[in-house]
A and B are shown apart, each in its own frame.
Chain A
């Protein structure tokens, strides 16, 4: 069978289009279902037979969350939000700073035990949370930093460092070493050469490492549930459990809080997109 080149091209294009559409649907539907549920009364979300076309969309779950009576479903969402924001942002910034130093060291220098150390960093991430959570609790209890932002920031920095270091290492690897040398020949100090020449080139890569770190901290649950306990440091994922009691669950309310949690992360990702793109394409510098 002969298929002309042009027909085949159009055929391929359609396939790609449909494929993209299907893939995006698979990604979106489970998530959008949460968003939709947050605007529907529980009676509709969990109905049998299913109610496919929403009959009653409203903001009741949100109103309940922001109300002042915990009996009506109020949750101290402002303090959770604040804690999440402070903890995730600060830990990301610190992880990036330390990660940049570490990543640069791995990308630019050869030294004894380099591979071992690299592997060691990675392995530090393989430790199951459960093996860490109790000892951390004991140490934190001694130091009196349980239920503090500081304590959570410290953990998330450690949690994100290995990942950040590898990513940044990879991005610096793509910045030609000659640029730095050239800058130094032109009279820059190594420090200036780094900030003026190499950093701007790797900047976008660093931004994408930042997104990963931020999202990890923003969404982490297991350690946060163990080491935070009041509005002083409880984060949003831990707050989700406020909608469960021993025997009951308020699914709509939980979805509403989930949306409150997802929207800022989504916004941030969308904004940083630009840098992400720039960061990811600068590989062209080399080619």
Chain B
């Protein structure tokens, strides 16, 4: 704690020196600008329709600073991860500003530099502290988050809940009123209640790769468990872990989810809900406007959104992800790079991006956004934002160690084995814990 503090003070002092050196007296202000005429920054960003509108703002930065940005790479999430790892391996790191994501960040620490010396404390204060904490690895601020924050909230079909027939039948069967679920147990009851295979399902979950492990992790924590203990020993095969996994197994056995869920990733979930064949969908903010667009979705006009359910420990938890921008250690124009990173994540940029749907990470942007939406009278959007703002309060990032993704690749086949019934819940989790334990031992944890 103490060491951290000292390092931090040192960082602030450094930033003061640097910014003053650049003729910027106002280092305490939430601003990192300057004259960067003649500087060309090479950048690698995530591509795709959801992420690219922001890059239009780069022109504004170029105008304001005289610098130039050359985007040398734009690829999808997993492709750019592959490229960045290849770059680290090949030593081809002669570019400046790059993509980062909290799930990948621990693997990139050799590549990206600590941003603390370049970003004023005032800027950091504008974020919810937990976001800055999530972006900090080994005491180094690895990235500055943009307005692409992901946490799940629960989408549901309003008409199903408003239907008196459903209300009555549900009350009789389960003994409590039918309202959108507040706990995962209620979630399960209702999903089973609504399911009418093969035409209609209670819910869906992504059943493979990091997706299923992440969701399992979310339930595990909500049920009072933890993935690892302090010494990085796997503890997810605890009672809570078994309880969490049982939730997936029960839904599958009761046919409340489509039998194909094990092959689903996120796109299948959203497509399913939009097709009108699913009642409840614990899903990401990226779908919000898609679901309510009559050209894309059959359920448009019938979508409600609430905060994610509680686990048995009474906690709500949100496994979350954050996109951000980082600066390479080899970058030759660090001040300019820091300025660009700041610019793409500043208040105006976040508001610009969040207006198109994604969630911001700056506190004030949330407030401004909600005020704007209230004014516009868009009730659906208002409901979405309220739900996700609430959901984001319970957000946590994945464990900060470089082998996280690798460990999910060991865990998910075991979770799947339990879901399809090849193994019992306990066997599956014990096997997974053993494999992850072996892997961690291999890496010297």
Contacts and interface: CB of A to CB of B under 8 A. Distances in A.
Interface string A233-273: 00000000111111111110100000000000000000000
Interface in B33-74: 44, 47-53, 55, 71-74
Contacts of A43: 274, 294-298, 300
A138 B77 CA distance: 21
- State the majority secondary structure of interface residues on B: mixed
Contact of B79 (A46, A47, A241): A241
Contacts of A138: 86, 89-90, 92
Given A43-B274, A141-B92, A248 B296 contact: no
Nearest to A49: B199
Contact of A48 (B76, B150, B277, B295): B277
Interface residues of B, number: 49
Interface stretch (B169-177, B282-290, B386-394): B282-290
Given A42-B296, A134-B89, A137-B86, A245 B53 contact: no
Interface stretch (B9-17, B19-27, B233-241, B265-273): B265-273
B359 to A, nearest CB: 12
A202 interface: no
A41 B296 contact: yes
A249 B286 contact: no
Contacts, number: 124
Nearest to B70: A230
A248 B295 contact: no
A163 B206 CA distance: 41
A169 interface: no
A246 B274 contact: no
Contacts of B399: none
B29 interface: no
Interface of B: 44, 47-53, 55, 71-77, 79, 82-83, 86-87, 89-92, 150, 199, 266-267, 270-272, 274-277, 283-284, 286-287, 290, 294-298, 300, 321, 356
Given A134-B90, A246-B266, A248-B267, 18 more contacts: A42-B296, A46-B274, A47-B275, A48-B272, A69-B53, A70-B49, A71-B52, A138-B90, A138-B92, A141-B92, A225-B75, A230-B72, A241-B47, A242-B76, A243-B49, A245-B49, A248-B266, A249-B270
24 contacts: A46-B274, A47-B298, A48-B276, A48-B298, A70-B52, A73-B49, A134-B86, A137-B86, A138-B86, A138-B90, A141-B87, A141-B91, A141-B92, A225-B79, A226-B82, A226-B86, A229-B75, A241-B79, A246-B286, A246-B321, A248-B50, A248-B290, A250-B49, A251-B271
